Amino acid sequence: MHSHRVLTEDDYRSSDVNALARSFIGKFLCTKIDGHVTTGMIVETEAYRGADDKASHAYNGKRTKRTSVMYESAGTAYIYLCYGLHHMMNVVTGPCGIANAVLIRSLEPISGLEIMAERRNMASDDNRLTKGPGSVGQAMGIHAGMTGISMTIPEPVIWLEDRGVIIPPSEIGQSERIGVSYAAECAHWPWRYFVLKNKYVSAHQRMLK
């Protein structure tokens, strides 16, 4: 119950990015930046599949300076700037060279609430502290300059932990992904996973079930 197992490359290597996105629900995202440790339990994720997913930055094998990180080994952090101000935290998954990724959209804050609140310029009990991917990046001190770093090396800056928390399948909801309406038929793929009724989950109104 109180084991804190850091996820290893094996935990990220499955080619089933949806299974991984679902499995990350209830895991813990942790950062240690300038000596400040912050952690939060993951309550919302989305899967992106490079090969055939028009919502993915790596759709159809697209490779640019930014997206080259997505082709790195499983357990690499892919972080990019969105709308010029939001730093989006993704975990590269799947076999090396397969550009799958899981976007971490929301956390339930667990520790380091004061530093999170300081970074967010809001009260530590505000439920917007780690709600939505831009908020997660800001609260955790994650920025695009960190893209490409490994989450599986010793003493990582960003990592995931399994703390033995099991979210029952009946408490996990599924829906279309947020903000990808441009992605044609892929926009409707139900590749978003979230903890039902959790107050840190974003965009409740778009839930399917």
Positions touching DNA (CB under 7 A) are 46, 48, 55-58, 62, 64-67, 78, 80-86, 88, 90, 101, 103, 120, 122, 128, 131-136, 177-180, 182, 202
Residue 101 CB, nearest distance to DNA (Å)?
5
Cβ nearer to DNA, comparing 8 with 68: 68
Q: Which is nearer to DNA, 11 or 53 (CB)?
A: 53
Residue the block writes with tokens 């917007």: 128
Provide the angle, in degrees to the nearest 10, between the axes of the packed helices 113-120 and 133-140.
Answer: 110
What's the min distance (Å) between Cβ of 106 and DNA? 8
Phi, psi of 194 (to 5 degrees): -160, 155
B/e letters for 98-109, b = 16+ CB within 10 Å, e = fewer, are bbbbbbbbbbbb
The pair of structure tokens assigned to 45 is: 């994720």
Please identify, using beta-carbon distances, which residue of 163 and 190 lies nearer to DNA.
190
* Tokens matching residue 73: 């080994």
Cβ closest to DNA, residue 144 vs residue 163: 144
Least separation, in Å, of the C-beta of 77 and DNA? 12
For the bound state, the minimum distance from the C-beta of residue 168 to DNA, rounded and expressed in Å, comes to: 26
Question: From the CA atom positions of the chain, what is the Rg in Å?
Answer: 16
Exposure string (b/e) for 127-161, b if CB count within 10 Å is 16 or more? eebbbbbbbbbbbbbbebebbebbbbeeebbbbbb
CB of 141 to DNA, least distance (A): 15
Name which of 36 and 86 has its Cβ closer to DNA.
Answer: 86
